[in-house]
């Protein structure tokens, strides 16, 4: 080949490689799903946007990010053991990159919430239990794809949280809880110290006390058992989440997270990009134990609601607590 042609071919190869790198970078940074819709105008002035967080003022980057996100975490109601519909998991995860802090805030599914103006029509539902919002919105969705119906349910839940708690959502992650056993088994189980033996006729097994490694089936059984109360169940879930976080700190597992996400992406709905997921995994690894807070709506702030088992809640106590935790401005 003549020198001029060789140089030309070389330049074409370089241009092609640069083009491929650019394409990969765009895919890596592209959200895996659309952002949530803006809230309707019926939402109070304190919650006019699903994303109400103030811009970050700290410029130093931690794990490739600055500032903080509110990430709505939802577990679908598709396989509820008791036949009572409603999401089993509703949490807001506050991830503060600049200050290396993570706060997980839980919302009991039986809290009575205002759903007027959220589009829950035919028939219209103006109030219901918090966990029912995901189901009611999904059942009214005109979509057929699982992730699209989950997105509709997630959007309605985000609007409900903004309307009732003045809390914004920057990102979301919704998951089909029926897939949790396979996910836990894929990472080799979760080591945990169970404080006391737990059983529930609905879960069909006994979870012994003591140090052990839970299989996927055992993990879900322990998470969903309610031999006492939903508040006690939330505390057990807190133990599971901390055990799972510790498991994810294993360097060998940490590098597999993107691959695991790809393996189960058909049952996960999120607007995070692969790059943001890596940044989030990095923060979970970097944050010290004292930087992790798990809290939620407390039992003493609730009273009997209009339906059997539903709960009214003291708005001032809840919003004051969330303000102190940095979840709302």
pLDDT tens for 24-69 read 455 667 877 888 874 433 333 333 334 433 444 444 577 888 889 9
Range picked from 27-36, 63-72, 239-248, 313-322 for highest mean pLDDT: 313-322
Residue 309: inside a domain, yes or no? yes
Segments of the chain assigned E as strands: 68-75, 89-96, 101-106, 112-114, 127-129, 171-175, 190-194, 198-200, 205-207, 210-214, 268-270, 292-296, 302-304, 311-313
Residue 166: inside a domain, yes or no? yes
Residue 248 burial by Cβ neighbours in a 10 Å radius (0-12, 13-18, 19+): middle
Q: What's the token pair of residue 171?
A: 């990102």
The tally of domains found in the chain comes to: 1
Q: Which residue has the higher pLDDT, 56 or 223?
A: 223
Residue 271: inside a domain, yes or no? yes
Q: Provide the 3-class DSSP secondary structure of residue 167.
A: coil
Residue 6: inside a domain, yes or no? no
pLDDT in the model for residue 24? 44
Residue 107: inside a domain, yes or no? yes
pLDDT in the model for residue 310? 93
pLDDT in the model for residue 16? 42
Residue 36: inside a domain, yes or no? yes
Q: Is 14 left (phi over 0), alpha (psi -120 to 50) or beta?
A: alpha
**Structural domain that includes position 107:** 31-177+258-324
Residue 305: inside a domain, yes or no? yes
pLDDT in the model for residue 2? 53
Residue 221: inside a domain, yes or no? no
Query: What mean pLDDT value characterizes the chain?
Result: 80
pLDDT in the model for residue 255? 66
The H or E element spanning position 161 is: helix 146-165
- Tell me the average pLDDT across 309-317: 95
Share of the chain above pLDDT 70, in %: 78
CATH code, domain carrying 167? 3.30.420.590
pLDDT in the model for residue 85? 63
Q: What is the pTM of this model?
A: 0.79
- Tell me the average pLDDT across 69-82: 72
Rounded to a whole number of angstroms, the distance between the first and last alpha carbons of the chain is 67
Structural Rg of the chain based on CA atoms: 22
């Amino acid at each position: 080949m003549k020198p001029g042609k060789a140089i030309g071919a070389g330049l074409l190869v370089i241009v092609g490689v640069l083009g491929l790198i650019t394409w990969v970078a765009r895919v890596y940074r592209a959200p895996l799903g659309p952002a949530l819709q803006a809230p309707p105008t019926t939402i109070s002035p304190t919650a006019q946007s699903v994303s109400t967080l103030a811009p970050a003022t700290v410029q130093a980057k931690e794990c490739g990010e600055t500032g903080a996100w509110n990430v709505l975490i939802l577990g679908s109601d598709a396989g509820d053991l008791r036949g009572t519909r409603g999401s089993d998991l509703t949490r807001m995860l506050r991830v503060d990159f600049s200050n290396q802090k993570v706060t997980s805030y839980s919302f009991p599914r039986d809290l009575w919430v205002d759903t007027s103006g959220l589009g829950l029509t035919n028939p219209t539902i103006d109030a219901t239990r918090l966990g029912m919002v995901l189901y009611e919105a999904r059942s009214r969705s005109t979509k057929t794809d699982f992730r699209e119906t989950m997105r509709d349910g997630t959007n309605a839940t985000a609007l409900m949280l903004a309307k009732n708690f003045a809390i914004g959502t920057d990102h979301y992650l919704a998951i089909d809880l029926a897939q949790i056993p396979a996910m836990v088994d894929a990472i080799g189980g979760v080591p945990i110290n169970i404080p006391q033996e737990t059983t529930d006729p609905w879960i069909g097994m006994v979870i012994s006390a003591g140090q052990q490694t839970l299989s996927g089936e055992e993990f879900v059984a322990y998470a969903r058992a309610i031999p006492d109360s939903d508040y006690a169940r939330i505390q057990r879930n807190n133990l599971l989440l901390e055990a799972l976080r510790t498991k994810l700190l294993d360097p060998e597992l940490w590098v597999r997270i993107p691959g695991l996400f790809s393996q189960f992406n058909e049952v996960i709905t999120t607007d995070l990009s692969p790059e943001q997921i890596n940044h989030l995994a990095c923060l979970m690894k970097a944050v010290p134990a004292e930087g992790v807070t798990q809290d939620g709506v407390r039992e003493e702030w609730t009273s009997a609601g209009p339906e059997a088992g539903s709960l009214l809640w003291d708005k001032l106590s809840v919003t004051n607590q969330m303000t102190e935790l940095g979840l709302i401005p």
